[in-house]
Amino acid sequence: MAVFPSPLESAKFIADHSKDVSVDEDGARRVAESLFDKATAAEFGLAGWKSLHELNPRATDKEAVDWVFLVDTLNFSFWSEQEQQKYLVKYKDKTYSGYWSLCAAVNRALDEGIPITSASYFATMTLDQVRHVFRSDTEVPIPLIEERHRVLNESGIVLLEKFGGSFLSCVKMSEKSAQKLLRLILENFPSYRDEALFEKKKVSFYKRAQILVADTWSVLEGTGDGSFDDISSLTIFADYRIPQVLVHLKAMKYSEELMKKLREGTIFQSGDKEEVEIRGCSIWCCELICKNLKELYQKKGQDTHEKINAVLLDYYLWDYARDHREEMKDIPFHRVRCIYY
């Protein structure tokens, strides 16, 4: 049986040994206080996944679950070298960038009658078909198109061979446990094994695997096969936006030398010490924010069950980063080209 380190334990270990990134406990407490009133509002809740995001599926059926699987299999590396030169997709008279450009391209393909979310289709897609589905509305193509082709074929074949062609079968096998679904994903889909070596120890982040579980919970509206009783055991998803917003909100800090490298646009490799510290401290920082938020609610005698967890905090912070691009422009995000986030 394969050993998959826990992202939470990894984050604690990394935060305890980190040199260039630090979690600011007072800053984390202040962020929790500022979120306190918002946390019971609609946009913080599970329903926001659909109500705030027009490209996400409305349904809670097999096709909606397969949409989530396809999108999260490709949910990585949308950043561009030049902010002005980037991959964009126009869909229904709106132009989308970043993660939303991926969703727009998927919905555009479905509208064109291309069964892009069906394993039987993406298991044998050619590179040219992938290029067509994810074509850009600028001269900048989607990053890592060859890797996207490879992970699509690989994941489609596993779905066909082991799960009858639908991720819903995998969800049913998890018997309403988020941790069991996480393990099934890691055991069967190699491209989701987002791990690194840090201070000679194997650590994990599992960003796409954890967000796949979270998005499955969201698209099923926390009901039926998606009523995971341990959804609060997930951590936030260590991408390249959450660290940026945590530094902006002064809950996390970079050393001068790291800030200099980031400002120069240094491209890091997946697994580099700085990259691991940024991602691990982000997860740990959000655990502290979550803990503080729960304490604030307990003080007020309010029940926080299912209202406050790392998933909902992550979604909120990610949307916040989207909506505050301008204010955050002097905080650089770390640049890695990889299939993990």
Sign of CA dihedral 75, 274, 86, 251: positive
Residue owning tokens 């080209």: 337
Q: Please identify, using beta-carbon distances, which residue of 302 and 311 lies nearer to ligand 56B.
A: 311
CB of 327 to ligand 56B, least distance (A): 14
Q: Please identify, using beta-carbon distances, which residue of 133 and 286 lies nearer to ligand 56B.
A: 286
Q: Could you confirm whether 239 is annotated as catalytic?
A: yes
Q: Please identify, using beta-carbon distances, which residue of 88 and 160 lies nearer to ligand 56B.
A: 88
CA angle 333, 307, 280 (to 5 degrees): 30
Long-range contacts of 300-305 (CB under 8 A, 24+ apart): 302/40
Name, in order, each residue with C-beta under 8 angstroms of 322's C-beta and a sequence gap of 6 or more. 98, 241
Q: Which residues bind ligand 56B (CB under 6 A)?
A: 49, 53, 56, 75-76, 78-79, 98-99, 211, 215, 236-237, 239-242, 314-315, 318, 322, 341
Residue in 194, 215, 239, 314 annotated catalytic: 239
Q: Tokens for 86?
A: 């980037």
CA angle 105, 109, 112 (to 5 degrees): 140
Cβ atoms of 274 and 20 within 8 Å: the answer is yes
CB of 124 to ligand 56B, least distance (A): 25
CB of 278 to ligand 56B, least distance (A): 13
Q: Tell me the residue number closest to ligand 56B, measured at CB.
A: 98
Q: Please identify, using beta-carbon distances, which residue of 148 and 241 lies nearer to ligand 56B.
A: 241
Burial letters 78-89, b for 16+ CB under 10 A, else e? bbbeeeeebbbb
CB of 1 to ligand 56B, least distance (A): 29
3-state secondary structure of 198: strand
Q: Please identify, using beta-carbon distances, which residue of 299 and 338 lies nearer to ligand 56B.
A: 338
CB of 75 to ligand 56B, least distance (A): 4
Instruction: Supply the residues annotated as catalytic.
Output: 239
